Amino acid sequence: MKVLTIGFPMTGKSSLFRAAAGPDSKGDVVAVPVPDPRFDRIVAQVKPKKATPATVIVSDDGEPLAPTGKMFGNKLLEAAKKADVLIHVVRAFESEMVPHHAAVDPARDREAVDVEMVLTDLGIIENRLERLGKSMTVKQPGSPDYLEKRLFERLKPMLEDGQPLRAIELDEEELKIVRNFQFVSAKPVVVCYNVGESDAATPPAAVHADIEKLASEGTAAFAVCATLEEELAQLDPEERAEFLSSYGLTESAAEKAVRAVYQGLGLITFFTAGENDTRAWPLREGSSALKAAATIHNDIAKGFIRAEVVHYADYDELGSLDAAYKGGKMSLEGKEYVIQDGDLLHIRTSA
């Protein structure tokens, strides 16, 4: 999954990227391992030749948002279209160096970008409807142009009302049409409030209130001090833990960002534990065992017979897969079994 950081100039989006990427990263795209104590526990017990954690691809390859005029330039718009989720970094710190909006107002800046996303998509839909008006097949029920026109005529007034596409309920056919156009307001958004060093452990009241408001709307949000976290990322693990503790922090920016991305995308993690390779796999919540098999490899999905499933709680209690199997904690499940967060899987195939 690809995550793109966006934000106005000097809001700290690049500092957040570097904090998440760590000291050895180069360039503007990096794979960030998903912190997961369950995976560490499995690896320590199995001792595989190779351990592969789940990763999030974080990118800072888009240009900053323009403070005035058209916020999304062509480069940023193209980068946003390719992303699975956007992390919007919002300024929540005082600085005379920031060239726009002298007063700190996180809610204002966040809402301005939300509005721009909606307006960007509204423009695309208006242009598309104009072209569809000249189509020869648009009046034929069931034709692609007919379905597109009907959907866009329904979405247009909603966008005009300020609703982002991600907040509008769509059926599977409508979702396919929307995905083809890669609308930016359809992308899940995670909001990161970049606070000052003195607010690192306890965000200001305005930020806390906005985080709670977003949570009530189903949007993941968190607060960090990006410059502090950038320094933290340069330290070794032991020093990092002491550093976090000295500021009253319990987790790093990378951990907060990954957790928020998982929440924003509705993801869980399942595991495969083998002596050659033990892996953590991200998966959409509510997905079937067959979908999990396809996540591992399409050939495994094609030859799917049964999934051997051990719930992580049983594994953790008994200490190993062998003990879980012997203790009757392994179940055989079919293609439609809904994967639970933390499940350890072994797929039986016909190959």
Q: What is the pLDDT of residue 52?
A: 96
Q: Give yes or no for a contact between 91 and 195, defined as CB atoms under 8 angstroms apart.
A: no
Quote the pLDDT of residue 169.
Answer: 92
Euclidean distance between CA atoms 276 and 137, whole angstroms = 56
Per-residue model confidence (pLDDT) at position 322: 94
Start-end of H helices in the chain: 13-21, 37-46, 74-82, 106-132, 144-160, 172-181, 205-216, 226-232, 237-246, 253-265, 289-296, 298-302, 312-318, 321-326
Render pLDDT for 275-288 as a digit per residue (tens, 0 to 9).
999 999 999 999 99
| Model confidence pLDDT, tens digit, residues 104-118 | 889 998 999 999 999
The encoded tokens of residue 81 equal 């279209």
Contacts of 251 (CB under 8 A, 6+ apart): 35, 244, 259
CA 49 vs. chain centroid, Å, equals 29
pLDDT tens for 116-153 read 999 999 999 999 999 998 988 988 998 999 999 999 99
Per residue in 315-340, pLDDT (tens digit) is 999 999 999 999 999 999 999 999 99
Residue 301 has pLDDT above 90, yes or no: yes
Separation in Å, CA 80 to CA 5, 84, 129, 187, 219? 9, 8, 23, 8, 18
User: Where do the structural domains in the chain lie, given as residue ranges?
Assistant: 2-35+50-103+188-264, 114-185, 286-349
Assigned CATH topology for domain 2-35+50-103+188-264: Rossmann fold (3.40.50)
pLDDT tens digits for range 142-201: 899 999 999 999 999 999 999 999 999 999 999 999 999 989 999 999 999 999 988 988
**C-alpha torsion angle, residues 119, 122, 124, 130 (rounded to 10):** -140
- Residue 24: pLDDT band (50, 70, 90) is low
Comparing CA positions, the residue from 197, 10, 211, 194 lying closest to residue 92 is 194
Q: How many CB atoms neighbour CB 183 within 10 A?
A: 23
Beta bridge partners of 270: 281
pLDDT of 98 higher than 80: no
The confidence score (pLDDT) of residue 282 equals 95
The domain 114-185: what is its CATH number? 1.10.150.300
Helix axes of 144-160 and 106-132: crossing angle, nearest 10 degrees: 150
d(CA 9, CA 116): 16
The domain made up of 286-349 has a fold known as Ubiquitin-like (UB roll) (3.10.20)
pLDDT the model gives residue 264? 87
Query: C-alpha 27: how far from its chain's center?
Result: 20
Q: What is the pLDDT of residue 69?
A: 67
Mean pLDDT on 297-306? 95
Say whether pLDDT at 45 is over 90: yes
Distance CA 88, CA 116 (A): 13
Cα separation, 104 vs 123, whole angstroms: 30
Q: pTM for this structure?
A: 0.87
